[in-house]
Amino acid sequence: MAVPGGDSNLDLMDLVSKLSLVFNLRPGEGRPLLLLLAHSFFLGVTLVFFYTAASALFLVRFDVQTLPYVYIISAGVVALGGFLYSKLERRLPLPRLLVTTLAFLLVSVCAFRLGLWTEAGWLVFGLLIWADVLDVLTGLEFWGLAGHLFNVRQGKRLFGLIGSGDMATRMIGGFSVPVLVQFLGTPNLLLISAGGLVLCLIVLAAILHKFGNRLSSPEGEGRTRVRSRFLRLPKDRYVHLIILLAVFSAFTAYFLSYVFLDQVKAGHRQVDQVASFLGLFYGIADVVSLLFRAFLSGRLLSQHGLKAGLIALPAMLAVGTLLAAFAGTALGNVAVFFWLVAMTRLLDRVLRKSIFKPSFLILYQPLQATQRLSTQVTVEGIVGPLASGLAGVTLLLFNLIGSFNPIYLTYVMLLILAGWIMVSILVQPEYTAALTQALTKRTLEGLSLSLDDGSSLAVLKRKLKSPHPGEILYSLNMLEKIEHEAFESFLMDLLDHPSPEVRQDVLLRIERIAGTGFKPNPALLGAVTKRMEQEKSPSVQAAALRALCALGEAEVVERISPYLDDPDPQIRRGAMVGLLRNGGIAGILLAGERLTALANSRNPDQRAFAARVLGEVGLRSFYQPLLKLLRDDNPQVRQAALTASGKVKNPRLWPLVL
């Protein structure tokens, strides 16, 4: 009998399964991911319409020479906002903090819209300052929420997808601005921004209802919170270069934005015209940015390393700025100058987020965990706003000293960009040295590390050839954490390493990752078989037997079975554990018979051996022999059974354990 709606349910399940496969989703991740995507989408609505309205209203109401005052005041207000948010974070439960933040921003946006009816100039001035505050506080709210819903291992897979909701909105919103301003007018774009915040609150309420337990605990797996203090930085050349990079980047961004907005104001007089142009411009920029992220940015970092990632942005901006300066000075062509400035601003928007920002974040990784966080918080929380304020002061001085000329500023930008490129070149060898030192001292901590750029991988690969086993194993830990695509080949190469410690660790890793369901390369199965047959160390050969069972499963039972009678107890135990865990029915029957005989033996050493085997198997269903062994008359057998019970973790053993 056909079940009503059965086919449609199957189709839906099939669709969900395919989407999970495409986006690498694990069980339980789908619903929170969709809710966060919706949250990200509505935040994009809030930001794109608020910033477009704020910029257009400001440019029509004020002269461009007023912008430096905005930069200076904005730096102070943003720093103050971040400071107050950090204070509230310590005093309020996270759910209440998130709701309070969105509600406060919603009230502020509505207040600005009501205030604009008074046509007060200070409100228009404050609107552009508040755009930066809105951007910072929504970012803190959203990523704080995402960081508690997903641990850092999940975040590595999913945060790029989660952030795409915001980019999609920016594209759609940007292209829709020219149409919306014809019907609503530029000031009423703030109402759409407020509507986005209302929808964010609704989505947040749904998240708190479904997953509030994840937000109630301050710490969880991979969510450790480290508190740092501002300005406690290591006094070394490497950190100073990171700070200089942040300063040059901020100066360039504000100088370029200043020249760009001046050209926009010169070419568009009506507020709706300015809003329409900015909406289309940023919509196009986000489309290009999305394409660049999808097809080029990852390849650039993986193949060419950190140096290319750091230099790409200032180098491209230098080319665009040089062409604009030439067009303005030699050609005197205003239209060409405008479009070259616009192109340079487009490059900045595309490359800053897709290339420079990920590369800049990589620079923090060689620092120790506490130093890494304190440096990052100080650079982004103090140095960034301070640099933007200093950029505003510098622009203000240019305006006060002489008449403003955007062409002259392009030459100043070229000097700033030259310094930026020089620091980008100098920081590369310092990063390599710092990362090498961190690997040597084994201080490279934190699950949120991203070491898959070319420069970091080159250092890790060199460490795999170190004469010190500890450095090799530490580098393998890092490569496994980032799930490097060549990790399997690294393991194969190390199967013939002269150190038994390295060989045994590699084989145990192979057994572990084989248990996660990955499809091994046939060459790996052959390499492990060869190592098992040639190995002289009993502990390493035992690990090889277990790895071979994990890779070959029931197909290797006949090859493994002779080792059940090996005279060395380590090898016998390795064969037995491998067959019981991964040998299928045939392996369980074969090894289970031996295990039962050992557990019932009159020899206490054999009974203790059986208990140790059960502990290494570690399966909850293999608990019954331990019931008898926990009551054994021999204390050594009981001790081995007690240790095994801690690994098996079956509740039915608790009465005897306790």
- Per-residue pLDDT, 404: 62
Q: Is the pLDDT of residue 147 over 50?
A: yes
Rounded alpha-carbon distances, angstroms, from residue 562 to 18, 166, 521, 558, 595: 43, 60, 25, 8, 15
The pLDDT of residue 419 is 94
User: How many Å from the N-terminal Cα to the C-terminal Cα in the chain?
Assistant: 53
Of 551, 579, 598, which residue constitutes the final position of a domain? 598
Distance (Å, rounded) from C-alpha 431 to C-alpha 304? 15
User: Measuring CA to CA, which residue among 56, 47, 51, 44 is closest to residue 275?
Assistant: 56
Backbone angles phi, psi at 291, to 5 degrees: -65, -40
For residue 239, pLDDT beyond 70? yes
Residue 466 lies in a domain: no
604-650 residue pLDDT tens: 999 899 889 888 888 888 888 888 888 888 989 889 888 888 888 88
pLDDT given at position 594: 87
Is residue 160 domain-shared with residue 105, that is, in the same domain? yes
Give the per-residue pLDDT at 6: 46
pLDDT at 512: 85
Tally Cβ neighbours within 10 Å of residue 323.
Answer: 17
Compute the average pLDDT of residues 67-85.
Answer: 84
Burial of 10 (0-12, 13-18, 19+ CB in 10 A): exposed
Question: CB-hemisphere CA count at 13 Å for 158?
Answer: 26
Looking at residue 317, its pLDDT comes to 94
Q: Are residues 411 and 264 in the same domain?
A: yes
Q: Which amino acid is at 651?
A: P
In a domain, 206, yes or no: yes
476 in a structural domain: no
Q: How far is CA 67 from CA 70, 113, 494, in A?
A: 5, 21, 59
The fraction of the chain above a pLDDT of 90, given in percent, is 12
In percent, how much of the chain has pLDDT > 70?
Answer: 80
Of 153, 181, 216, which residue sits at a domain end?
A: 216
3-class SS of residue 621: coil
pLDDT at res. 227: 44
pLDDT mean over 172-200: 87
Rounded Cα–Cα distance for residues 462 and 97 (Å): 46
- Longest Cα–Cα distance of the chain, Å, equals 101
Asked if residue 465 is part of any domain, the answer here is no
pLDDT of amino acid 235 = 60
pTM of the model: 0.68
531 in a structural domain: yes
pLDDT single digits (tens) 271-299? 888 888 888 888 888 888 777 776 666 66
| Per-residue pLDDT, 21 | 57
Residue 374 has pLDDT above 90, yes or no: no
pLDDT at 236 over 90: no
- For the stretch 158-167, pLDDT in tens is 555 666 666 7
| For residue 18, pLDDT beyond 80 | no
Q: What is the pLDDT of residue 139?
A: 81
Residue 124 lies in a domain: yes
307 and 252 share one domain: yes
**Same domain? 326 vs 397:** yes
Q: Looking at residue 314, what is its pLDDT?
A: 94
Least confident piece of the model among 9-13, 55-59, 125-129, 433-437: 9-13
Assign residue 97 the CATH number of its domain. 1.20.1250.20
pLDDT of residue 156: 52
Q: Are residues 257 and 393 in the same domain?
A: yes
The pLDDT, as a whole number, for residue 240 is 87
Q: Are residues 167 and 283 in the same domain?
A: no
Residues 576 and 605 in one domain: no
Do 32 and 133 lie in one domain? The reply is: yes
Is residue 385 within 8 A of residue 78, CB to CB? The reply is yes
Residue-level pLDDT at 217: 47
pLDDT at 39 (0 to 100): 87
Q: Coil, strand, or helix at residue 243?
A: helix
| Per-residue pLDDT band at 22 (split at 50, 70, 90) | low
Same domain, 593 and 641: no
Band the pLDDT of 26: cuts 50, 70, 90: low
Cα(313)–Cα(245) distance, rounded to whole angstroms? 12
Q: Mean pLDDT over residues 77-85, rounded?
A: 80
Residue range 442-471, pLDDT digits in tens: 555 544 455 555 556 677 777 788 788 888
Total domains in the chain come to 4
Instruction: Examine the domain organization and report whether 348 and 366 are in the same domain.
Output: yes
* Same-domain status, 586 and 610: no
Domain limits for position 617: 600-658
CA angle 165, 58, 62 (to 5 degrees): 160
Any idea which of 20-24, 457-461, 583-587, 604-608 has the lowest mean pLDDT? Answer: 20-24
Is residue 221 over pLDDT 80?
no
Q: Are residues 320 and 422 in the same domain?
A: yes
To which residue do tokens 């928007």 refer?
349
Mean of pLDDT values over 535-552 = 89
Would the pLDDT of 343 be above 90?
yes
Mean pLDDT score of the chain, rounded to an integer? 80
The answer as to whether 229 is a domain residue is: no
Summarize the confidence of residues 388-411 as an average pLDDT: 83
- Window from 314-323, 481-490, 579-588 with minimum mean pLDDT: 481-490
| CATH number assigned to the domain comprising residue 654 | 1.25.10.10
Q: Which of 598, 614, 630 is the last residue of a domain?
A: 598
Please, where are the H alpha helices in 327-444? 334-351, 357-362, 369-378, 384-401, 406-441
Helices first, then strands: H and E counts in the chain: 28, 0
In eight-state DSSP terms, residue 118 is T
- Specify the pLDDT at position 24: 58
Residue 264 placed within a domain: yes
- Give the pLDDT confidence score for residue 108 in this predicted structure: 92
CB 413 within 8 Å of CB 252: yes
* Among 62-66, 304-308, 581-585, the least confident range: 304-308
> Is 70 exceeded by the pLDDT of residue 336?
yes
pLDDT at 223 over 70: no
Residue 197 confidence (pLDDT) above 50? yes
Nearest one of 637, 592, 600 to 619, comparing CA atoms: 592
